[in-house]
Every structure is written in structure tokens, then in C-alpha cells.
Structure 1
């Protein structure tokens, strides 16, 4: 599973990508996670399965979803509190939820509420 985390300039997405990658590795999942920018997204979409979109890019979500749909890529808008997920486990749960809901044809609803 190839995960792309997108933000405006690539700085905050780097932290999220590192945390998700570490959480997946700790669970023995064969997931990769990388950071990208909104500008590089049209090219980066060809090399990912799931796009995690930074909360500050919510106004761009419709266009991102349109572009991703043509490539079969799932899109998840990250909640505003994504940066409080220090170990990446709740963000990883969003990815896994998107995979399940994507298979069912439903749009995932992002949340990072603690269980």
C-alpha cells in the first residue's frame, strides 16, 4: 500500500508520513508513506493508492477527488487534529478505514477521536 500525504509545501505532511510509516511498520504492514505538495499531486497520484489530504486543503478536496478517481486512488481529508497523533496509529486507522470503505464504495468520514 502506497500512501501519499499532501499539504501545501510538504513540511507538515513529512511529519504525518513518517508517523504513519512507523505505525504501519510496527504492525508488520507492507505500507509506504511519503510526503508531497499540492503542486506535485498530479504527478504523484500515479504512484500511490491512498492520498491523505492536509486539513488546510479542504477547499481543494473536490478537485483532488476528481483527479484521484480517474486513477483509482482513494482520498481521505485529514482532520484538524491530525498533528496530535504522535505515534501515527489513529492516522493509520483512517487509512485502513478508507481501504475498507473504498472497497464498499462509501466515502470515508475522517476522525481522529481517541478510542
Structure 2
């Protein structure tokens, strides 16, 4: 069963690259995970399609707002650590998603 993660970013290229690297890591592991990189303003549009939300580290100031928007939805949300984000580490990004889904 495919899971979908929403990566909240400010529309930069790095988020798209990280999303792509997470998809590649998932494929290598034989997992079906879609990762969509979008701005925070688009969260509501995707709430019926997503299983987990990741927030780019430079947007930590909006984490509380996103958690409030997700309140009651059962969709977990976490901040990506700067190292994973900065290195565009798809393997670690995938691990974050898996951890969030297991906690759900």
C-alpha cells in the first residue's frame, strides 16, 4: 500500500531534490512512498491524500501552526533535521517517514 508524505518547504529546489532522493531510497528498499514537496499554504489541499508531514528545518517557526492544522487528522508531523535536509539524504529522510508512520 502506497504512503504519501508531504514535505513542507518554501518552494526551493533543495526540497524537490530531497523528495526525489527519498523516492529513490524507497524504491531501492522495495517500498511504495510518494513524496510531494509543497509550500505550507498548500497543506489543506493535500490533507486527504497524505499520511505524514515533514517540515524543512528553516521553517521550524511554522511547525506549531502546521500541527494545529493537522490536529485531529491523525497525520503525524515532524521537523527534518538540518543535516538530512542539507545533505539531501534520501535514506535518512525515508527513515524519518518510516519512524513517523510507525508512531502513528
Question: Structure 1 residue 30 and structure 2 residue 32: aligned?
Answer: yes
Q: Which whole-Å CA distance do the structure 1 matches of 2:29 and 2:17 have between them?
A: 19
1:10 CA drift (Å):
4.4
The answer (yes or no) to whether the contact 2:17–2:88 under 8 Å persists in 1 is no
Identify the match of residue 11 of structure 2 among 9, 24, 33. Answer: 9
**Unaligned segments of structure 2, at least 5 residues:** none
Q: Could you say which residue in structure 2 is the equivalent of 1:84?
A: 87
More helix by share: 2
Q: Could you say which residue in structure 2 is the equivalent of 1:55?
A: 57
What RMSD in Å do the two structures reach over aligned CA positions? Answer: 1.4
TM-score under structure 1 length normalisation: 0.79
| Higher RCO, 1 vs 2 (CA within 8 Å, ≥6 residues apart) | 2
Aligned length: 101
